[in-house]
Amino acid sequence: MTNNSFTTEAEELGKLRDEIDSVDQQIQQLVNQRAQCAQKVADVKEHFSKPGESVVFYRPEREAQVLRRVMERNQGPLPAEGVARLFREIMSQCLALEEPMKIAYLGPEGTFTQQAALKHFGHAVECQGQGSIEDVFREVEAGGANFGVVPVENSTEGVITHTLDSFVGSNLNICGEVALRIHHHFLLKEALLKKGAVANPTKVYSHAQSLAQCRQWLDANWPGIERIAVSSNAEAARRAQEEEGAAAIASEAAAELYNLNIATANIEDMPDNTTRFLIIGKQTTEISGDDKTSLLVASKNKPGALYHLLAPFHEEGVSLTRIETRPSKSGTWNYIFFIDLEGHQNEEKVAKAMALVQQQCTDFKCLGSYPKAVL
Ligand SMILES: O=C(O)C(=O)C[C@]1(C(=O)O)C=C[C@@H](O)C=C1
């Protein structure tokens, strides 16, 4: 682009950089002013908290409203989602001033669940990797972490049954959800890459879900390779680094962490491969204006049971977004349904439908109402 009013490059850049410096100074001052407000918010929360009850600093409904507003009012040139991510980080820092947060996630380091935790809470939290989904629940229940993050469903492979089953015996609530686009890469050690065809890997490690999500690609590109399921993609990457002749299917974060090369990127069979994660904690969440509610409902195995169970939602105009059926492990709950619906349990029509459903079933638990994922 040419502009005749330009003088020299150095002079033009100098002027613009002075302007950027001045804007940066204002942003920094305003961000700190915002942080001071958050500190005052913390004082107010503490002042009005009931004796013996722990103060609730994290407010997911408010965070969702802030992010939605940022996206709505954005005029560019920065994209709305990009600006919302910046505000995500600012709020993360502000919350850390109120209360340093510990987040338990399905580890080890480098898993998609860790990415989901950081996407949801921002980077000012301390992430604690756990060995299993059950351990994430246990850590939050025991108070070792403020919240937990677990995967619940994948758009290609369906529901993660371990997570749903963990809710049956737990008193934790769902406080939020995160959706993450999942990209899988075929990872090799540098040595294997250099040797080329002679030193082709003989086995590939990955989590069972990821192997399934890349099944067609593996069939087409590495038909003879032994596919070995391990506890996580990060563990797969660790093994690919340690063992001779081993490859891994894992994320970019895992590749970086274990110093592997991306031999082929984005090998997932479905281009819109997405995993949904849940945030679990002890607190309940207020109405944000665009919420979801998750229920766990048990019913006797008799004809028309599901039909009768669901009828009140239809009658009250409540939309269901998902139903999963799980066999009950105890004799009293023949069938367990996990139901996601649009709206918050404190909204009139949702509350009414829930009360009617409760009359129909042998057991009923509201797992929580929470804001729909914003980012
Ligand atoms: O509004 C509040 O309750 C705050 O604590 C402030 C704030 C923010 O930075 O905007 C920080 C943490 C909460 O999770 C929600 C919002």
Q: For residue 179, what pLDDT is reported?
A: 96
**What average pLDDT does this structure show over 100-110?**
93
Burial 53-76 (b: 16+ CB within 10 A, else e): eeeebbbbbebbbbbbebeeeeee
What is the amino acid identity at position 229? A
Q: For residue 204, what pLDDT is reported?
A: 97
**CB half-sphere exposure, 375, CA atoms < 13 A:** 27
314 has pLDDT over 90 = yes
- Return the CATH number of the domain spanning residue range 284-375: 3.30.70.260
Q: For residue 210, what pLDDT is reported?
A: 92
Q: For residue 308, what pLDDT is reported?
A: 86
The tens digit of pLDDT for each residue in 188-244 reads 997 666 655 445 899 999 999 899 999 999 999 999 999 999 988 999 999 999 999
Q: What is the DSSP string of 9-27?
A: HHHHHHHHHHHHHHHHHHH
4 has pLDDT over 90 = no
Q: What's the rounded Cα separation, in Å, for the pair 160 and 234?
A: 18
The helix-helix angle for 305-316 and 348-360 (nearest 10°) equals 160
3 has pLDDT over 70 = no
Instruction: State both tokens at 274.
Output: 């997405």
Ligand 1 mean position to 96 CA, how many Å?
Answer: 10
83 has pLDDT over 60 = yes
- 339 bridge partner residues: 295, 323
Which spans in 271-347 are helix H?
305-316
Instruction: State the DSSP code for 172.
Output: -
Write phi, then psi, for 203 (nearest 5 degrees): -145, 155
Indicate the pLDDT class of residue 268, thresholds 50, 70 and 90: very high
> Of 69 and 302, which is predicted with more confidence?
69
Query: Among 258, 259, 207, 253, which Cα is nearest to 232's?
Result: 207
Q: For residue 177, what pLDDT is reported?
A: 97
Least reliable range by pLDDT among 29-38, 47-56, 312-321, 331-340: 331-340
Ligand 1 mean position to 59 CA, how many Å?
Answer: 6
Topology (CATH) of 185-272: D-Maltodextrin-Binding Protein; domain 2 (3.40.190)
Which residues are CB-neighbours of 72 under 8 A, at least 6 positions away?
80
Q: For residue 198, what pLDDT is reported?
A: 44
CB 59 within 8 A of CB 67: no
Residue ranges of domains in the chain: 185-272, 284-375
The tens digit of pLDDT for each residue in 118-151 reads 999 999 999 999 999 999 999 999 999 999 999 9
Nearest atom (ligand 1) to Cα of 58:
14
Instruction: Compute the mean pLDDT over every residue in the chain, rounded to the nearest whole number.
Output: 93
**Residues contacting ligand 1 via CB (< 6 Å):** 38, 41, 58-59, 62-63, 66, 91, 94-95, 98
Least reliable range by pLDDT among 187-191, 246-250, 288-292, 368-372: 187-191
What is the amino acid identity at position 184? H
Note the pTM of the prediction, 2 decimals.
0.90
Instruction: State the DSSP code for 267.
Output: -
372 has pLDDT over 50 = yes
**CB half-sphere exposure, 207, CA atoms < 13 A:** 24
Q: For residue 107, what pLDDT is reported?
A: 87
> Of 42 and 197, which is predicted with more confidence?
42
Q: Are strands 126-130 and 158-159 parallel, antiparallel or unpaired?
A: unpaired
SS3 assignment, position 288: coil
Ligand 1 pocket test target in 90, 92, 95, 288 with most atoms within 8 Å of CB: 95
Percent over 90 (pLDDT), the chain: 79
51 has pLDDT over 70 = yes
The helix-helix angle for 133-141 and 161-168 (nearest 10°) equals 30
